[in-house]
């Protein structure tokens, strides 16, 4: 968080809509987190009219059932375009740093990776440009190789997830249905075991951190059904595996995909061991998955109240990197400092 002598130019990227999202989040989380009570409070008798800048009252807005939702949901190019000369300067600077700096790896492995080419077998037979296609993970893996990350890391061998592991999150009917697709190539393609291996390696002390380059994605999958190109909820299964089988007491999941992770939220909304935070485009319920559960007022249920944190964006163009970083700084840092979870999942799912 910026100190008193820090320049406040970064505040200029906080649009009024984004300010409203963050303040609404703080408003509904105040009863559950002392770290969100830093603004203080005062009685209504002290309010200096309707324009008193100290007063903020959130308002709920959901248009998903009434408005005409778009047929396509743009998810690419959230950053403003940069001129070619600027991009060249950045590339030259990175090249210079790579040539000057010598990366020294400590004894043992600081990072473990998992990737399986078998995941590329899952693809659409009719849509070559389907948004969820093998190139998504292939290009990530190739980029990690060019950067030398693969060579400096421990690459884990994949395995098949067991039924009982998947059933930690999903219903038996859903598990039976998905495993029944193995003869068609469906069961293996949706296998969430890559995420499990990374969690096991980190929890066992074999690595300090891990990256699972896997697909299909998982955060939309509900306990009883697939949803949004997601068959198994891989992150939810991995988190539940950590708490149930590996002795992990607290897990943090940061979901910064453009869409709300409805499946992860529903899996842990009553579980205080898992702190789930989602930063996503919402458009007052018009953006996929178009659910009221993605709004800032959904904070969890029962013992899990306060452990679901939603930061919805309602204005096109807000999902720029600076906005994401500021939202995390304003909302996530106090919660993480208090909880200090030993296991953190911060990848897009």
* Beta carbons of 287 and 264 less than 8 angstroms apart: no
8 is catalytic: no
Instruction: List CB contacts of 115: < 8 A, sequence separation 6 or more.
Output: 137, 141, 155, 158, 194, 213, 214
* Beta carbons of 212 and 158 less than 8 angstroms apart: no
- How many CA atoms, within 13 angstroms, populate the side-chain half-sphere of residue 256? 16
Say how far apart CA 192 and CA 158 lie, in whole Å. Answer: 10
Q: Which of 220, 241, 260, 280 is catalytic?
A: 220
Say how far apart CA 96 and CA 257 lie, in whole Å. Answer: 31
User: 12 vs 37, 127, 155, CA distance in Å?
Assistant: 24, 42, 42
User: 283 vs 93, 216, 293, 312, 317, CA distance in Å?
Assistant: 37, 25, 13, 8, 11
Instruction: List CB contacts of 315: < 8 A, sequence separation 6 or more.
Output: 15, 17, 18
**Which SS3 state, helix, strand or coil, does residue 279 take?**
strand
* Beta carbons of 158 and 118 less than 8 angstroms apart: yes
Query: Which residues form the catalytic set?
Result: 220
């Amino acid at each position: 968080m910026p100190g008193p002598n820090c320049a406040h130019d970064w505040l200029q990227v906080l649009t009024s809509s984004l300010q409203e999202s963050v303040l609404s989040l703080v408003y509904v989380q105040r009863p559950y987190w002392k770290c969100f009570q830093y603004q203080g409070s005062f009685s209504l008798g002290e309010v200096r009219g309707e324009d008193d800048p100290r007063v903020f009252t959130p308002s709920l807005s959901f248009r998903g059932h009434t408005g005409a939702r778009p047929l396509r949901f743009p998810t690419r190019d959230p950053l403003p375009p940069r001129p070619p000369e600027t991009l060249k300067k950045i590339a030259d600077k990175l090249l210079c740093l790579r040539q000057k700096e010598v990366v020294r790896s400590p004894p043992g492995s600081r990072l473990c990776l998992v990737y399986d080419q078998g995941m590329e077998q899952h693809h659409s037979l009719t849509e070559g440009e389907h948004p969820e296609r093998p190139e998504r993970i292939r290009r990530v893996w190739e980029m990690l190789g060019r950067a030398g990350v693969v060579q400096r890391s421990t690459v884990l061998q994949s395995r098949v997830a067991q039924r009982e592991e998947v059933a930690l999150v999903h219903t038996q009917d859903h598990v039976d249905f998905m495993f029944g697709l193995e003869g068609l190539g469906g069961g293996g393609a949706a296998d969430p075991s890559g995420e499990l291996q990374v969690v096991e390696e980190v929890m066992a002390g074999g690595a300090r951190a891990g990256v699972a380059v896997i697909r299909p994605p998982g955060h939309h999958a509900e306990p009883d059904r697939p949803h949004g190109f997601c068959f198994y909820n891989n992150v939810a299964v991995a988190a539940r595996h950590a708490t149930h089988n590996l002795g992990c007491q607290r897990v943090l999941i940061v979901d910064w995909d453009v869409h709300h992770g409805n499946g992860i939220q529903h899996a842990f909304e009553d579980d205080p061991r898992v702190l789930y935070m989602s930063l996503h485009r919402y458009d007052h319920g018009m953006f996929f998955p178009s659910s009221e559960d993605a709004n800032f007022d959904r904070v969890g249920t029962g013992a899990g109240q306060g452990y679901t944190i939603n930061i919805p964006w309602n204005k096109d163009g807000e999902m720029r990197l600076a906005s994401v970083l500021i939202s995390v700084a304003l909302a996530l840092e106090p919660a993480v400092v208090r909880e200090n979870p030993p296991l953190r999942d911060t990848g897009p799912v």
